[in-house]
Copies of this chain bind each other. A is one copy, B any other.
């Protein structure tokens, strides 16, 4: 935990004071991204202390040869690694001959970082006292342009405080970088060309195996006292790096600065042999605009995002800062422009977990993007999976499934499975259900049914086929059972009849069949194409329905609850509050077998199902299950508190809801899990958003429109959020006194508030 380290502020993340122990953590927290590239908050100048370097390019990955102790049939050959990309931010700095390195300075005073979320820039400033007694004030500002998303900009300013100095700036590019996370110490990048042209330099390199070609470029400008200087740099090159060295004499009190435009052009978006030209063009364009103009348009672009996505909280700065940090990071990670991309669990802030896509996207992230962006963004996320359908079918066939059954991968970059723990890869199959659920959720929210006949139904059929084949008939129970699975609660492995999985399987089949019937009736030509392509036939549909009808659900008569899986009641049911604190977190303190045989739940499992299918259970049932399972839940997954926050709110337990909310919203800022240095928990940030909008605001879709049951924690004066619902934007303002609604657009909208119909009209404040 790191509480009270980050300064509370409504709009900015602020660190004050230099602490070498926190450098890596802050490198994560102050990361910047623009959906196409990302950058940890590494220093521009050299730093000889512990640091975790990270520059990332969306969609560029490395298939690292799988590492396992004991191979199992069906394991993928590789694990897709998030790749540390060539460094474009580096600026070597020498001051009167001494390299600037905060690790070796005599003193670092007034050290301050600010990540300005409102405007989308990051600034660092400090006064360094060097060993040669020179004292300099340094300020560095940088941002990754939302408008020109292949460009990042740095303004690095130095002001000598106590004497005239000679300053050498050596902006550089470096493709001789490595990954922290590598299985076999392979080289990931192959550099094949370096070039320079006065103030510009370029490195052309490609990734090993995947052959993504990348041109990393930079263009530098030197200023003294605000005036640009035309200095011819000395060029230094080796096989994988190039630097341009500028020497300037700076009088005491005067400021010199270097503005560095840098970034990547990538073969995903350009012809391979045009990468350097594209880089030159975009860098010169940026330079022509100049730092101030670009920063200004950055502010405008972020202003537009905030206009739609912001949530305000009145009376609780920490909660305000937390939610904005979550919304900001989600927007830094994924903007929905490119259907080839997805939302990695660490976004552009670290390498851990690899891959880019987990079921997190479908289960947690889609609601956020649906409500705060154009609905095309959510549709792009669905299309991403549609485009991977063939690979999901191939993946299932490797595991012995036939006839076009699909199993979507646990982790993927390009549609192929790249995870390799049998209990997860082969058994955490509930992820497949999340794909169908996301389609359902999208159609429910947007009303855009067209996605189903066009693309969704094919996905649903392949998934229903999987469940059909994966279930087996137990003559002993006279029911269909699903054996050997891992549910969302990964603290159980290879269990039988995980309730959540069985429920989802049944639902997926039923929902698929409903849609087969609807498409057959209402979208004849689509139906014919789908039948042609999938060979789905009545007989198979009936066999599927038989499985759904006769699905088994473990249940305890005594406790009147569904059991998380067969045999759950055989456990020693000691609640978490009776567990000694020295044993927590159990995933760090206990061996795996001990965790598995314990009753402790990593993240919502049955409650996840109750969250997704709320309408199918009574509040009384929810209460019983919440009361039974939450006491065993250790919330050691970042995806757990948000669901519990929403359900606590549903049950009118606002204190509990608020506690869960804080845990999810400030997970990284306060470093609850003591691991923020590895990167941020991006996907769970969407859960935080849901905690407010669905939890406190009580947003649901009922009868094809919005429904709210607004509640407010007693710690807050009020809060507001906006949602884009079918191209109308509704702003919800909840205070201790009541709730008001504002509607943008042209037509009225009927909504439900506390179950009652309310008509809201454009630009009229409606208070309930």
Residues of chain A at the chain B interface (Cβ within 8 Å): 66-70, 72-74, 79, 398-400, 420-423, 426-427, 472-477, 481, 483-484, 493-497, 558, 566-567, 569-573, 587-594, 596-597
Q: Once the chains are docked, how many angstroms separate the CA of A373 from the CA of B65?
A: 49
Q: Which residue of B is nearest A68, CB measured?
A: B69
Contact call B69/A589, Cβ cutoff below 8 A: no
Chain B residues with CB under 8 Å of A79's CB are 69
Whole-angstrom distance between the Cβ of A399 and the nearest chain B Cβ: 4
Q: Once the chains are docked, how many angstroms separate the CA of A571 from the CA of B497?
A: 12
Q: Which residue of B is nearest A573, CB measured?
A: B475
Contact call A73/B592, Cβ cutoff below 8 A: yes
Contact call A593/B477, Cβ cutoff below 8 A: no
Contact call B593/A426, Cβ cutoff below 8 A: yes
Chain B residues with CB under 8 Å of A472's CB are 570-572, 597
Select the residue from A70, A79, A593 with max chain B CB neighbours within 10 A: A593
Q: Once the chains are docked, how many angstroms separate the CA of A569 from the CA of B591?
A: 30
Q: Once the chains are docked, how many angstroms separate the CA of A567 from the CA of B592?
A: 22
Select the residue from A421, A587, A589 with max chain B CB neighbours within 10 A: A421
Contact call A483/B399, Cβ cutoff below 8 A: no
Select the residue from A68, A73, A426 with max chain B CB neighbours within 10 A: A73
Chain B residues with CB under 8 Å of A567's CB are 483, 496, 566-567
Chain B residues with CB under 8 Å of A495's CB are 494
17 new A-B contacts at CB < 8 Å, known A399-B594, A566-B570:
A66-B69, A69-B420, A70-B420, A73-B588, A73-B589, A400-B590, A400-B594, A426-B592, A427-B593, A473-B572, A475-B573, A476-B558, A484-B597, A493-B493, A493-B494, A494-B596, A566-B567
Q: Once the chains are docked, how many angstroms separate the CA of A494 from the CA of B66?
A: 24
29 A-B contact pairs sorted by A residue (CB < 8 Å): A66-B69, A67-B67, A68-B69, A69-B420, A69-B421, A70-B421, A72-B592, A73-B588, A73-B591, A73-B592, A74-B593, A398-B591, A399-B591, A399-B593, A399-B594, A422-B592, A427-B593, A472-B570, A472-B571, A474-B569, A481-B570, A483-B570, A483-B571, A483-B597, A496-B567, A496-B570, A566-B567, A566-B570, A567-B567
Select the residue from A566, A571, A597 with max chain B CB neighbours within 10 A: A597
Select the residue from A67, A476, A558, A569 with max chain B CB neighbours within 10 A: A476
Chain B residues with CB under 8 Å of A475's CB are 569, 573
Q: Once the chains are docked, how many angstroms separate the CA of A573 from the CA of B481?
A: 13
Contact call A69/B72, Cβ cutoff below 8 A: no
Chain B residues with CB under 8 Å of A423's CB are 494
Chain B residues with CB under 8 Å of A481's CB are 570
Q: Once the chains are docked, how many angstroms separate the CA of A100 from the CA of B421?
A: 48
Whole-angstrom distance between the Cβ of A210 and the nearest chain B Cβ: 20
Q: Once the chains are docked, how many angstroms separate the CA of A567 from the CA of B66?
A: 33
Contact residue among B400, B483, B566, B572 (Cβ-Cβ distance under 8 Å from A591): B400
Q: Once the chains are docked, how many angstroms separate the CA of A496 from the CA of B66?
A: 31
Listed from nearest, the 7 A-B pairs whose CB atoms lie closest are A74-B591, A426-B593, A476-B569, A484-B597, A483-B597, A474-B570, A72-B592
Whole-angstrom distance between the Cβ of A517 and the nearest chain B Cβ: 30
Chain B residues with CB under 8 Å of A570's CB are 472, 474, 476-477, 481, 483, 496-497, 566
Q: Which residue of B is nearest A583, CB measured?
A: B400
Q: Once the chains are docked, how many angstroms separate the CA of A481 from the CA of B599?
A: 14
Q: Once the chains are docked, how many angstroms separate the CA of A474 from the CA of B572?
A: 7
Whole-angstrom distance between the Cβ of A483 and the nearest chain B Cβ: 4
Q: Once the chains are docked, how many angstroms separate the CA of A488 from the CA of B597?
A: 19
Chain B residues with CB under 8 Å of A398's CB are 591
Q: Which residue of B is nearest A473, CB measured?
A: B572
Q: Once the chains are docked, how many angstroms separate the CA of A573 from the CA of B476?
A: 10
Select the residue from A70, A473, A558 with max chain B CB neighbours within 10 A: A70
Chain B residues with CB under 8 Å of A588's CB are 73
Q: Once the chains are docked, how many angstroms separate the CA of A225 from the CA of B400?
A: 65
Chain B residues with CB under 8 Å of A70's CB are 420-421
Whole-angstrom distance between the Cβ of A69 and the nearest chain B Cβ: 4
Select the residue from A420, A477, A587, A591 with max chain B CB neighbours within 10 A: A591
Chain B residues with CB under 8 Å of A571's CB are 472, 474, 483
Q: Once the chains are docked, how many angstroms separate the CA of A398 from the CA of B590?
A: 9
Q: Once the chains are docked, how many angstroms separate the CA of A51 from the CA of B566?
A: 50
Q: Which residue of B is nearest A586, CB measured?
A: B73
Q: Once the chains are docked, how many angstroms separate the CA of A594 from the CA of B400?
A: 8
Q: Which residue of B is nearest A476, CB measured?
A: B569
Contact residue among B399, B474, B591 (Cβ-Cβ distance under 8 Å from A72): B591
Contact call B593/A422, Cβ cutoff below 8 A: yes
Chain B residues with CB under 8 Å of A484's CB are 593, 596-597
Q: Once the chains are docked, how many angstroms separate the CA of A572 from the CA of B473?
A: 7
Chain B residues with CB under 8 Å of A572's CB are 472-473
Chain B residues with CB under 8 Å of A594's CB are 399-400
Whole-angstrom distance between the Cβ of A730 and the nearest chain B Cβ: 44
Q: Once the chains are docked, how many angstroms separate the CA of A556 from the CA of B400?
A: 30
Q: Which residue of B is nearest A559, CB measured?
A: B476
Whole-angstrom distance between the Cβ of A251 and the nearest chain B Cβ: 56
Q: Once the chains are docked, how many angstroms separate the CA of A67 from the CA of B483?
A: 29
Q: Once the chains are docked, how many angstroms separate the CA of A411 from the CA of B352?
A: 31
Q: Which residue of B is nearest A66, CB measured?
A: B69
Contact call A74/B592, Cβ cutoff below 8 A: yes
Q: Once the chains are docked, how many angstroms separate the CA of A691 from the CA of B79?
A: 46
Q: Once the chains are docked, how many angstroms separate the CA of A596 from the CA of B427?
A: 10
Q: Once the chains are docked, how many angstroms separate the CA of A628 from the CA of B572?
A: 32
Chain B residues with CB under 8 Å of A477's CB are 570
Q: Once the chains are docked, how many angstroms separate the CA of A597 from the CA of B498?
A: 14
Q: Once the chains are docked, how many angstroms separate the CA of A420 from the CA of B67?
A: 13
Whole-angstrom distance between the Cβ of A614 and the nearest chain B Cβ: 29
Chain B residues with CB under 8 Å of A67's CB are 67-69
Whole-angstrom distance between the Cβ of A485 and the nearest chain B Cβ: 8
Q: Which residue of B is nearest A474, CB measured?
A: B570
Q: Once the chains are docked, how many angstroms separate the CA of A84 from the CA of B476?
A: 52
Chain B residues with CB under 8 Å of A474's CB are 569-571
Chain B residues with CB under 8 Å of A68's CB are 67-69
Chain B residues with CB under 8 Å of A566's CB are 566-567, 570
Select the residue from A473, A481, A497 with max chain B CB neighbours within 10 A: A481
Q: Once the chains are docked, how many angstroms separate the CA of A566 from the CA of B596?
A: 16
Q: Which residue of B is nearest A495, CB measured?
A: B494
Select the residue from A67, A497, A558, A587 with max chain B CB neighbours within 10 A: A67
Q: Once the chains are docked, how many angstroms separate the CA of A421 from the CA of B68?
A: 10
Whole-angstrom distance between the Cβ of A525 and the nearest chain B Cβ: 38
